[in-house]
Amino acid sequence: MYPRTSIKTAAAAITQGLPSPWNGTESEADKLLVVCSHLLKVKEEQKVICEDMKKMKKQMASGHAAQLSTAPLPVPASREECFTAVQKLLRENDEFNQKWRVEREEAVRRLKNFQQTTSTVTKAFERLDPHLGHPVFVEEYVWTLLNMHAWASKMLSSPPLDLQDKAEGLRLQTQIHELLEDQEESLKRSVWLEAVNFSRHLDRKEPKSEVAVSPKDDGKYLPYEIATLIYSHCDLETCVSLREASSYWYLAYTHADRDLKLELVRRFPWIKPEGEMKTWGDCVLVYVSRLTSSKWKVIDGWDSVEIPPPKPVKGVTALGLNHGEKLPCDYEGFDDHRDFDCSFSCDRLHVENLPLGAVLSPWTLDAVPEQPSQIKVVSESKDAMVISFMDIEITLPGHIRPEHLPKNTGFLERAPIVVNSEIIMVPTTHHHYVFPRDQPHYKHATVYPPHIDAVSQVGNIHVTRYARSTYGLHDPYTKKLVKYGTPSFASNKSCPEENYNGLVWWFHQDKYLIPTFLDLDQPGKVFCRQDKIVTLPDKAPDGLHQCLRPQNSQYLTEWTKNGGIRMVDLDSGVITDVETPHSYYNPGRDRSRVFLGYENGKFLARFLSHNTVREYTKSYWDMDSEDLDSEDSEEDDDDDYQDYGTGDEVDPWGAWDEDHDYSDDHDYSDNHGYSDYYYDDYGPGYNAWAFAGMR
């Protein structure tokens, strides 16, 4: 009789991820018995971890409550008393975090080790013969292990183990809100602006001072007109070098702005002065710097790009506005209202009674109906048809008839005609007409065939499909379509998304914002800087909105899962979630409305509670509560709304629930779907039979 591997030895090998301990004499049934016995141990370990984590969470919550109770405030309190109490709370919070840091790090270590164990045991199941005869049971065991792995990930991303900026910031800010809750509104706002610094990174930046340069006053210089003529005959690289030659050529460079623009847009038509680039000369300096930098590399597709992991998200809470309270006159809103497809950061409150809508100004509390512009035919003749849209008269060729025009749309839909600061795009049945913004006549238009997958607008750029499924960007100067990349750039749910700071930002797989640019003197080359890629923490299948106001155009926005607003800063790559104060303790999307804005250059978000929004809606539409509840119920049934959750999701800190599928939780499955397990955790050799019937 051959010697047999003991269960203890086999289990130890499985736990440590060692090579297979089997010596070839054991039956497959023996192997299954050993692996199943270890699965039971893993389940017991999971229960112990869960209980320990619950105790730690309870102790930390008690500590937070005690911390808050040590800083009471009289009502009313003076400004000095409020400042002192807030500073004391901030100081005690630092001490509290230091005290618990070791325990939290140990908890994180245990959970990561637990995840490694679940992966190792799953591999042990994979090594079993698929013809063992117990496929249903084995599938169930593998499913349980994957569920455990997902549960651990939920634990790691939930307070109090989530050590990222957002969770910590929201918890502390919520405590400050509670501390100041009964104080006078203007006092709360003053303390928040001066003592609470969680939104400092969003404050207005001081403009950079100009460098004072003057040539030697000896009169031996060419007239600037001649220097400008010389600049106009140089390529961009030579212009930048010549600028550095002397103080005279430095000053002459500032006089050559028009000629610098002509050469720059010939090589890259989608750049303009914005952000820190104040002049066309600044744009040239930035563009040449990118071309000569080793950080900007030529890529031939997304497979050659190394995508960075998401950075920690910062959390900022908003200050409440009571019913009937107006925003101060000096409060600067963040983004303009749009007649169609309005952004998440619009500075108006939408009070809707679908299919009707109205917008309310939080500065005056006056509301007006939403009346999106309609296409109107002004005149028709055999030579031309004139239409009106958004108070702009547009002249189309005479063969275009009214029935060829797009249908008018509502305020919740995309505009039938695209109008922005650079172009006007009119889609018709057979063609897309792209006009210069200041010349809306067909004689000045560029005509493109329509495409079912066309992206009508990226920033101020018209984009459509090029030959063989690649994307083409409209060049407003040559009025031609410019091929952007190869067909591989348009694969895997990738398309141009925004145009900012002289870059075309691609949105890849609903999650990655990738900065690129071209040099038309080097056809076919796409430049990309990998360390500037912005990785979102969650997928954004509906895309993001770029702020229309020039001073805020570096920001893209979308909803957060709690109903707040996510701000993506393309300049710094920092992502900030602006939430209501109660979202930390009560996660799940509510109907509060967050407003972004500034007071005296300092970022200060405000919000209207769900009940206040209801009151304004009831008042405008003269509805009673029963009618409004009916409207809310219908909206709650909407799939897009339910995807965000309602706060009733399973608490990963609660008792282990084998019936709950943690791997299907939205927060987790977006980043750790089974395809990620298959390739990342187990490698391409993992047998597909283990997943049969589970995908």
> What DSSP letter does each residue of 309-340 carry, written as one string?
PPPPPEEEEPEEE-TTPPPPTTEEESB---SS
Query: Average pLDDT in the 311-319 region?
Result: 91
Greatest mean pLDDT among 79-88, 97-106, 378-387, 494-503 lies in: 378-387
Mean pLDDT of 334-363: 88
Instruction: State how far the Cα of 154 lies from the Cα of 152, in Å rounded to an integer.
Output: 5
| Residue 240 banded pLDDT, cuts 50, 70, 90 | very high
Residue 79 token pair = 């400004």
Exposed (0-12), middle (13-18) or buried (19+): which is 52, by Cβ within 10 Å? middle
**pLDDT single digits (tens) 513-535:** 999 999 999 998 999 999 999 99
Q: How confident is the model at residue 690, as a pLDDT?
A: 30
**Residue 356: what pLDDT?**
85
Q: What average pLDDT does the segment 164-168 reach? A: 69
What is the token pair recorded at 333?
Answer: 């809103």
**What is the predicted pLDDT for the residue at 683?**
32
- Poorest-confidence range of 29-33, 130-134, 147-151, 152-156? 130-134
CA 535 to each of CA 436, 458, 531: distance values in angstroms, whole numbers, following the listed order? 34, 19, 11
Q: Give the model's pLDDT for residue 677.
A: 30
* pLDDT score for 548: 87
- pLDDT, tens digit, for every residue of 415-429? 889 888 888 999 998
pTM of the predicted model as reported, rounded to 2 decimal places: 0.78
Q: Given pLDDT bands bounded at 50, 70 and 90, which one contains residue 495? A: confident
pLDDT recorded at residue 165 = 60
Query: What per-residue confidence (pLDDT) applies to 71?
Result: 60
Position 612 scores a pLDDT of 93
Distance CA(529)–CA(511), nearest Å, equals: 17
* Confidence band, pLDDT 50/70/90 cuts, at residue 27: low
Long-range CB contact pairs, 122-131, < 8 A, 24+: 122/146, 122/682, 122/690, 123/17, 123/682, 123/686, 124/14, 124/35, 124/38, 125/35, 125/690, 126/682, 126/686, 126/687, 126/690, 127/20, 127/31, 128/28, 128/31, 128/32, 128/35, 129/28, 130/687, 130/689
Distance of CA 354 to the CA centre of its chain: 28
Q: How far apart are CA 661 and CA 657, in angstroms?
A: 9
Q: What's phi and psi for 144, nearest 5 deg? A: -60, -40
Q: What is the mean pLDDT of residues 404-414?
A: 84
Span of 88-102, 291-305, 386-400, 491-505 with lowest mean pLDDT: 88-102
CA distance 574 to 312: 8
Nearest 10 degrees: Cα torsion 614, 616, 617, 618: 80
| Range 362-368, long-range pairs (CB < 8 A, 24+ positions) | 362/321, 362/326, 362/327, 362/595, 362/606, 362/608, 363/326, 363/327, 363/329, 363/331, 364/326, 365/324, 365/326, 365/616, 367/616, 367/620
Q: Which one has a higher pLDDT value, 38 or 84?
A: 84
Is residue 671 predicted with pLDDT exceeding 90?
no
Section 241-265 average pLDDT: 94
Binned at pLDDT 50, 70 and 90, residue 414 comes out as confident
Q: How far is the C-alpha of 457 from the C-alpha of 473, rounded, in Å?
A: 10
Q: If you write DSSP's letter for every residue of 180-219 in order, what string do you get? A: TTTS-HHHHHHHHHHH--TTGGGSPPPPPPPPP----SSS
Of all residues in the chain, the percent with pLDDT exceeding 70 is 79
pLDDT of residue 371: 86
- The domain locations on the chain are 7-198, 224-293, 376-539
- The CA-to-CA distance between both ends of the chain, in Å, stands at 43
For residue 334, is it left (φ>0), alpha (ψ between -120 and 50) or beta? alpha
The CA–CA distances, whole Å, from 461 to 152, 420, 480, 526 equal 44, 9, 12, 17
Token pair recorded at residue 12: 């130890």
Residue 676 has pLDDT above 90, yes or no: no
Higher pLDDT, 271 or 659: 271
Query: Which candidate, 670, 645, 651, 649, places its Cα nearest to that of 563?
Result: 645
Instruction: Examine the pLDDT at 5 and tell me if it is beyond 60.
Output: no
Q: Which helix (H) or strand (E) holds 415?
A: none
Longest CA–CA span in the chain (Å) reads 108
DSSP notation for 251-271: HHHHTTHHHHHHHHHHH-TT-
- What is residue 631's predicted lDDT score, i.e. its pLDDT? 54
Q: Which helix (H) or strand (E) holds 602?
A: strand 602-603
CA 411 to chain centre: 23
Mind listing the pLDDT tens digit for each residue in 200-212? 999 998 877 777 7
Q: Name the band, by pLDDT with cuts 50, 70 and 90, for residue 643.
A: very low
Q: What are phi and psi of 326, to 5 degrees?
A: -100, 155
Residue-level pLDDT at 679: 27
User: What angle in degrees, to the nearest 10, is found between the helix axes of 280-292 and 236-243?
Assistant: 110
pLDDT per residue over 275-304, tens digit each?
889 999 999 999 999 999 999 999 988 888
Residue pair 578/565 in contact by the 8 Å Cβ criterion: yes
Q: Select from 316, 321, 80, 84 the least CA-distant residue to 189.
A: 321
- Look at residue 26 and tell me whether its pLDDT is greater than 70: no
Choose between 307 and 645: higher pLDDT.
307
- 69: tokens are 């109770």
pLDDT digit string, tens, across residues 583-642? 776 776 677 899 999 999 999 999 999 999 999 999 998 877 656 655 554 444 443 333
pLDDT given for residue 566 in this prediction: 95
Judge whether 311 and 535 are in contact, CB under 8 Å: yes
d(CA 564, CA 615): 20
**pLDDT (average), residues 548-564:** 90
**Does the pLDDT at position 221 exceed 90?**
no
Cα 346 to its chain centre, rounded Å, is 16
Selected residue with higher pLDDT from 404 and 38: 404
Q: In the predicted model, what is the mean pLDDT of the chain?
A: 81
Can you tell me the distance from the alpha carbon of 369 to that of 351, in angstroms, rounded to the nearest whole number?
A: 9
